[in-house]
């Protein structure tokens, strides 16, 4: 790549933006949040899947800004809850719910579920839109784990303090950021996404 490409990230979540910036920085791709570009309207996440929401969150800002926009939609799917909270993960306890409120609701719903039946998976879906609003790349991946009965660790965000990775016997809230960047649903999705992204920009530049 002769020029350093820049992508607008369709997210105002600072912790999520930080994770994605760290994942793309080694590949010479600059990432800025939509919050740094313009005062855009919030995208209504009314898709029926993570993939649909990711595509919408990429396409709408791309058309408004006439820039490349990368977006992702992710969440937690708990088997005993028939996949809930799923696409409603960020607002499980209501619109503008805090992480604590969402975690509290999840624990309440799992109060009578034994540990052996608390299996769950984090899912991450990524979409990249070109400045004309065409979705050029997509990727999706997941990470399996188990929901514990009380939060552990202060790292990460969302349901991370409740999501235990069996191989490490630690939650995402306890794991070092470097380890999480190898194991998480987001890291796995970007591992699939980044080589194609680099190839795309190498061809465009």
Residues annotated as catalytic (active site), given as ranges = 73
C-beta separation of 75 from 60 below 8 A:
no
3-state secondary structure labels for all residues of the chain: CCCCCEEEECCCCHHHHHHHHHHHHHHCCEEEEHHHCCCCCCCCCCCCCHHHHHHHHHHHHHHHHCCCEEEEEEEEEEHHHCCCEHHHHHHCCCCCCCHHHHHHHHHHHCCCCCHHHCEEEEEEEEEEECCCCCEEEEEEEEEEEEECCCCCCCCCCCCHHHEEECCCCEECCCCCHHHHHHHCHHHHHHHHHHHHHHHHHHHHC
State yes or no: 91 annotated in a binding site. no
State yes or no: 57 annotated in a binding site. no
State yes or no: 14 annotated in a binding site. yes
State yes or no: 129 annotated in a binding site. no
State yes or no: 180 annotated in a binding site. yes
State yes or no: 13 annotated in a binding site. yes
State yes or no: 49 annotated in a binding site. no
User: How is the beta sheet containing 163-165 ordered, strand by strand?
Assistant: 30-33, 6-9, 69-78, 119-129, 135-147, 163-165, 170-171
State yes or no: 185 annotated in a binding site. yes
State yes or no: 105 annotated in a binding site. no
State yes or no: 157 annotated in a binding site. yes
**Cα–Cα distance measured from residue 173 to residue 162, given in angstroms and rounded to the nearest whole number:** 8
State yes or no: 192 annotated in a binding site. no
State yes or no: 186 annotated in a binding site. yes
Q: Residues forming the annotated binding site for substrate?
A: 11-16, 74, 157-160, 180, 185-186
Q: Residues forming the annotated binding site for Mg(2+)?
A: 73
Q: Residues forming the annotated binding site?
A: 11-16, 73-74, 157-160, 180, 185-186
């Amino acid at each position: 790549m002769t020029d350093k490409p820049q992508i607008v990230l369709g997210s105002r979540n600072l912790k999520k933006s930080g994770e994605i910036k760290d994942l793309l920085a080694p590949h010479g791709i600059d990432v800025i949040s939509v919050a740094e570009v313009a005062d855009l309207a919030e995208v209504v996440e009314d898709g029926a899947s993570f993939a649909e929401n990711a595509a919408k969150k990429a396409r709408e800002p791309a058309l408004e800004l006439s820039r490349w926009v990368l977006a992702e939609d992710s969440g937690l799917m708990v088997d005993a809850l028939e996949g809930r909270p799923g696409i409603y993960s960020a607002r499980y306890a209501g619109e503008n719910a805090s992480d604590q409120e969402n975690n509290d609701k999840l624990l309440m719903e799992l109060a009578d579920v034994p540990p052996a039946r608390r299996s769950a998976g984090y899912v991450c879906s990524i979409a990249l839109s070109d400045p004309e609003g065409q979705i050029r790349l997509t990727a999706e991946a997941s990470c399996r784990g188990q929901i514990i009965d009380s939060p552990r660790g202060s790292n990460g965000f969302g349901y991370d303090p409740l999501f235990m990775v069996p191989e490490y016997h630690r939650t995402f809230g306890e794991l070092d950021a470097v380890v999480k960047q190898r194991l998480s649903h987001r890291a796995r999705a970007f591992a699939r996404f980044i080589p194609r992204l680099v190839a795309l920009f190498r061809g465009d530049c």
